[in-house]
Amino acid sequence: MSSIKDTPTDEEVAPARPLSAWDHARAALIALHVLAIVALAFPSRGALTNKAAWRSKNTQADFAAWTAGLNRAGVEITPQEFEAWLWSLAERYGRARDRVTRPVQPYARYLGLEQSWQMFASPQRHPGELHVDIRVDGEWRPIYRSRSREYTWRRGQLDYHRMRKYVGRFARGIVPGHYNPLARALARAAASDFPEAESIRVRLYRYRSLPPDRVRAGERPEGRYEHTRVYPAAPLRAQRGAWP
């Protein structure tokens, strides 16, 4: 039968090593790093104080929905008053965050601790899709529709998640320097793939997302076309550098 070892006495326990200057410095550096991360974790200004972002359809729809909820709860306030109150709050928050994070900004830049993209404030309720058509014998014929099982031209490329994110930006605002080269490249590729095409048309289809009950009922959203670009096919075929 094994014997139970007695608990060591205070005299038998080795004394703790005194903390060195490096131990203290390391603890201080770790604490400063944690404090910097906590300060930087507060949401940055970003679109929070960007008037153009506040004027977007998505944001205005959010203001209307929140105001309606407050009205139902007995708070009398208009969307304009609610927006003005939120803007004042956002500006005060932005100034406070700037003061808190200013001391750690050089440290964050040096170590790459900054995050350039923002978290999603609300879903995109007014999405946009690229539609590509060709004209044959004077008749327009669709060749690509996003997520379509029928119009699947270049679907492997155009439905790729990176491309979808790129196109999704156009729903928030068209940047001609991005949209026009893409539309022309698509037209050039379509002209090459469809020798019978007389013209190529690239458009952005905008619509409002339906609520869940209407989607379950089988409804399809109705939208409108924006930023239409039409290209004669023959000159495109003579150019080099078609879409791969």
pLDDT in tens, 18-42: 888 898 899 999 999 999 989 888 8
State whether 138 and 229 are in the same domain: yes
pTM of the model: 0.64
Task: From 50, 85, 111, give the residue that closes a domain.
Answer: 111
Total tally of structural domains belonging to the chain: 2
State whether 161 and 91 are in the same domain: no
Q: 207, 210, 212: which is closest to 131 by C-alpha? A: 207
In a domain, 242, yes or no: no
Q: 226, 227, 222, 233: which is closest to 200 by C-alpha? A: 233
In a domain, 244, yes or no: no
Q: Given CA atoms 19, 23, 24, 25 in this order, what sign does their dihedral have?
A: positive
Task: From 59, 83, 111, give the residue that closes a domain.
Answer: 111
Q: Given CA atoms 101, 88, 122, 182 in this order, what sign does their dihedral have?
A: negative
- Residue range of the domain that includes 230: 128-237
Task: From 78, 111, 144, give the residue that closes a domain.
Answer: 111
Give CA 145 to chain center in angstroms: 22
State whether 78 and 177 are in the same domain: no
State whether 133 and 106 are in the same domain: no
What is residue 235's three-state secondary structure? helix
Q: What is the pLDDT of residues 129-178, one digit of tens each?
A: 999 999 999 999 999 998 889 999 999 999 998 998 898 888 877 888 99
In a domain, 107, yes or no: yes
Tokens 């900054």 belong to: 114
